[in-house]
Amino acid sequence: MRKLVYYVAVSIDGYIAGPGGEFDFYPVADDMAAWFNTEYPETVPAHIRAQSGIDAPNKRFDTLVMGRGTYQPALDIGITSPYAHLRQYVVSTSIPEIADPGVELVSGDPVGLVRRLKEEDGMDIWLCGGGKLAGSLLPEIDEMIVKSYPVVAGSGIPAFSGEFRPTLFTPAQRRSFSNGAYVTWYDRV
Protein backbone atom coordinates (compact mmCIF):
# COMPACT_ATOMS: atom_id res chain seq x y z
CA MET A 1 0.00 0.00 0.00
CA ARG A 2 1.13 3.54 -0.72
CA LYS A 3 2.16 5.73 2.19
CA LEU A 4 1.26 9.30 3.03
CA VAL A 5 4.54 11.10 3.74
CA TYR A 6 4.67 14.55 5.33
CA TYR A 7 7.83 16.01 3.78
CA VAL A 8 8.28 19.40 5.41
CA ALA A 9 10.74 22.07 6.55
CA VAL A 10 10.44 23.28 10.13
CA SER A 11 12.08 25.87 12.35
CA ILE A 12 13.41 25.14 15.85
CA ASP A 13 10.16 26.47 17.28
CA GLY A 14 7.95 24.29 15.07
CA TYR A 15 6.88 26.61 12.25
CA ILE A 16 6.80 25.60 8.58
CA ALA A 17 6.37 29.17 7.37
CA GLY A 18 6.07 32.71 8.64
CA PRO A 19 2.76 34.46 9.33
CA GLY A 20 2.47 35.49 5.66
CA GLY A 21 3.59 32.11 4.30
CA GLU A 22 7.25 33.14 4.14
CA PHE A 23 9.80 30.33 3.94
CA ASP A 24 12.83 32.18 2.59
CA PHE A 25 14.30 32.55 6.09
CA TYR A 26 15.55 28.95 6.10
CA PRO A 27 19.34 28.87 5.62
CA VAL A 28 19.90 26.61 2.62
CA ALA A 29 23.36 25.31 1.79
CA ASP A 30 24.66 24.05 -1.54
CA ASP A 31 25.26 20.53 -0.21
CA MET A 32 21.71 20.35 1.12
CA ALA A 33 20.11 21.65 -2.08
CA ALA A 34 22.16 19.28 -4.23
CA TRP A 35 21.27 16.33 -2.04
CA PHE A 36 17.52 17.08 -2.16
CA ASN A 37 17.57 17.72 -5.89
CA THR A 38 19.12 14.28 -6.34
CA GLU A 39 17.16 12.31 -3.73
CA TYR A 40 13.75 13.99 -4.03
CA PRO A 41 13.71 15.71 -7.46
CA GLU A 42 9.92 15.56 -7.67
CA THR A 43 9.63 17.92 -4.68
CA VAL A 44 11.12 20.75 -6.72
CA PRO A 45 8.39 22.80 -8.46
CA ALA A 46 8.23 22.35 -12.24
CA HIS A 47 9.27 25.90 -13.11
CA ILE A 48 12.32 25.68 -10.81
CA ARG A 49 13.26 22.22 -12.12
CA ALA A 50 13.51 23.66 -15.61
CA GLN A 51 15.59 26.65 -14.42
CA SER A 52 17.90 24.36 -12.41
CA GLY A 53 18.36 21.82 -15.16
CA ILE A 54 16.69 19.03 -13.14
CA ASP A 55 15.47 16.42 -15.56
CA ALA A 56 15.17 13.41 -13.28
CA PRO A 57 12.27 11.01 -12.97
CA ASN A 58 10.16 10.93 -9.82
CA LYS A 59 11.93 8.77 -7.26
CA ARG A 60 9.60 8.63 -4.25
CA PHE A 61 6.30 10.41 -4.97
CA ASP A 62 3.87 10.50 -7.87
CA THR A 63 1.03 12.30 -6.07
CA LEU A 64 0.87 15.50 -4.02
CA VAL A 65 -1.75 16.74 -1.56
CA MET A 66 -1.59 20.38 -0.46
CA GLY A 67 -3.76 23.01 1.14
CA ARG A 68 -4.69 26.37 -0.29
CA GLY A 69 -1.94 28.19 1.61
CA THR A 70 0.66 26.00 -0.07
CA TYR A 71 -0.96 26.38 -3.50
CA GLN A 72 -1.52 30.16 -3.30
CA PRO A 73 2.12 31.30 -3.80
CA ALA A 74 2.16 29.55 -7.18
CA LEU A 75 -1.12 31.21 -8.16
CA ASP A 76 0.28 34.57 -7.06
CA ILE A 77 2.99 34.30 -9.73
CA GLY A 78 0.65 32.94 -12.41
CA ILE A 79 1.46 29.25 -12.06
CA THR A 80 -1.64 27.07 -11.90
CA SER A 81 0.15 23.69 -11.94
CA PRO A 82 3.26 24.03 -9.76
CA TYR A 83 4.07 20.31 -9.74
CA ALA A 84 2.99 19.27 -13.24
CA HIS A 85 5.15 16.14 -12.97
CA LEU A 86 2.89 14.87 -10.11
CA ARG A 87 -0.84 14.25 -9.67
CA GLN A 88 -1.87 17.34 -7.72
CA TYR A 89 -4.74 17.70 -5.25
CA VAL A 90 -5.55 20.99 -3.53
CA VAL A 91 -7.72 20.65 -0.42
CA SER A 92 -9.69 23.86 0.07
CA THR A 93 -13.17 25.05 0.88
CA SER A 94 -12.37 28.64 -0.12
CA ILE A 95 -11.29 28.17 -3.76
CA PRO A 96 -14.39 28.08 -5.98
CA GLU A 97 -12.65 26.27 -8.85
CA ILE A 98 -9.24 25.53 -10.33
CA ALA A 99 -8.80 26.34 -14.00
CA ASP A 100 -5.95 23.90 -14.61
CA PRO A 101 -6.90 20.32 -15.61
CA GLY A 102 -3.67 19.07 -13.99
CA VAL A 103 -4.82 20.10 -10.52
CA GLU A 104 -7.85 18.63 -8.79
CA LEU A 105 -9.76 20.66 -6.21
CA VAL A 106 -10.98 18.70 -3.17
CA SER A 107 -13.51 20.65 -1.14
CA GLY A 108 -14.62 17.69 0.95
CA ASP A 109 -12.99 15.26 3.33
CA PRO A 110 -9.17 15.09 2.96
CA VAL A 111 -9.03 11.86 5.00
CA GLY A 112 -11.33 10.13 2.51
CA LEU A 113 -9.21 11.42 -0.37
CA VAL A 114 -5.99 10.08 1.16
CA ARG A 115 -7.55 6.72 1.96
CA ARG A 116 -8.67 6.36 -1.67
CA LEU A 117 -5.24 7.38 -2.95
CA LYS A 118 -3.51 4.87 -0.65
CA GLU A 119 -5.57 2.06 -2.19
CA GLU A 120 -4.34 2.89 -5.70
CA ASP A 121 -1.19 1.52 -7.26
CA GLY A 122 1.72 3.90 -7.50
CA MET A 123 4.45 5.64 -5.59
CA ASP A 124 3.99 7.31 -2.21
CA ILE A 125 1.84 10.39 -1.64
CA TRP A 126 3.53 13.64 -0.61
CA LEU A 127 1.71 15.73 1.95
CA CYS A 128 3.18 19.09 1.00
CA GLY A 129 1.37 21.25 3.52
CA GLY A 130 0.21 23.14 5.35
CA GLY A 131 -0.17 22.78 9.07
CA LYS A 132 -3.96 22.78 9.17
CA LEU A 133 -4.13 20.07 6.51
CA ALA A 134 -1.38 18.07 8.26
CA GLY A 135 -3.33 18.29 11.50
CA SER A 136 -6.48 16.93 9.88
CA LEU A 137 -4.52 14.15 8.12
CA LEU A 138 -2.41 13.14 11.14
CA PRO A 139 -4.20 9.77 11.51
CA GLU A 140 -3.22 8.95 7.92
CA ILE A 141 0.44 10.07 8.01
CA ASP A 142 2.66 6.98 7.76
CA GLU A 143 6.04 8.70 7.63
CA MET A 144 7.52 12.14 8.12
CA ILE A 145 10.63 13.55 6.48
CA VAL A 146 11.43 16.62 8.54
CA LYS A 147 14.00 19.18 7.43
CA SER A 148 14.90 20.89 10.73
CA TYR A 149 16.60 24.24 10.29
CA PRO A 150 18.62 26.05 12.99
CA VAL A 151 16.42 29.14 13.03
CA VAL A 152 13.68 30.44 15.31
CA ALA A 153 10.73 31.90 13.39
CA GLY A 154 8.93 33.40 16.40
CA SER A 155 5.47 32.95 14.90
CA GLY A 156 3.83 31.66 11.78
CA ILE A 157 2.22 28.52 10.47
CA PRO A 158 2.78 25.55 12.79
CA ALA A 159 3.77 22.15 11.39
CA PHE A 160 0.50 20.77 12.79
CA SER A 161 -2.63 22.68 13.69
CA GLY A 162 -5.80 21.24 15.12
CA GLU A 163 -6.93 19.18 18.04
CA PHE A 164 -4.69 17.82 20.77
CA ARG A 165 -3.77 14.36 19.48
CA PRO A 166 -0.43 12.96 20.70
CA THR A 167 0.83 10.57 18.03
CA LEU A 168 4.03 8.59 18.40
CA PHE A 169 6.60 8.34 15.62
CA THR A 170 10.05 6.83 15.89
CA PRO A 171 13.20 8.25 14.24
CA ALA A 172 14.49 5.90 11.56
CA GLN A 173 17.39 7.87 10.07
CA ARG A 174 19.09 11.27 10.30
CA ARG A 175 21.40 13.28 8.05
CA SER A 176 23.16 16.59 8.72
CA PHE A 177 24.27 19.37 6.38
CA SER A 178 26.82 22.19 6.40
CA ASN A 179 24.21 24.84 7.31
CA GLY A 180 23.44 23.10 10.61
CA ALA A 181 20.18 21.64 9.32
CA TYR A 182 19.16 18.04 9.83
CA VAL A 183 16.81 15.79 7.96
CA THR A 184 15.15 13.17 10.10
CA TRP A 185 12.96 10.37 8.83
CA TYR A 186 10.23 9.29 11.23
CA ASP A 187 8.02 6.21 10.98
CA ARG A 188 4.63 5.87 12.63
CA VAL A 189 4.81 3.53 15.59
Sort 75 into a burial class: Cβ within 10 Å, 0-12 / 13-18 / 19+: middle
> What's the chain's average pLDDT?
96
Query: Rounded to two decimals, what is the model's pTM?
Result: 0.96
Cis peptide preceding 130, ω within 30 of 0: yes
* Overall average pLDDT of the 29-56 stretch: 93
Tell me, what's the pLDDT at 53?
A: 86
Tell me, what's the pLDDT at 157?
A: 96
Pairing of strands 182-188, 169-176: antiparallel
Task: Inform me whether the pLDDT recorded for 91 exceeds 90.
Answer: yes
Residue 184, helix vs strand vs coil: strand
Task: Inform me whether the pLDDT recorded for 129 exceeds 90.
Answer: no
Question: Residue 152 — pLDDT band, cuts 50, 70, 90?
Answer: very high
Query: Is residue 52 a contact partner of residue 75, using CB atoms and an 8 Å limit?
Result: no
Task: Inform me whether the pLDDT recorded for 120 exceeds 90.
Answer: yes
Cα 78 from chain centroid (whole Å): 20
Tell me, what's the pLDDT at 154?
A: 98
User: What are the angstrom distances between the C-alpha of 72 and each of 97, 141, 152?
Assistant: 13, 23, 24
* Overall average pLDDT of the 98-125 stretch: 96
Which residues, other chains included, contact 54 with Cβ-Cβ below 8 Å and sequence gap of 6+? Answer: 37, 41, 44, 48
pLDDT (tens digit per residue) in 53-85: 899 999 999 999 999 999 999 999 999 999 999
Q: What sign does the dihedral 16-181-37-51 (CA atoms) show?
A: positive
* Overall average pLDDT of the 101-109 stretch: 95
* Overall average pLDDT of the 141-169 stretch: 97
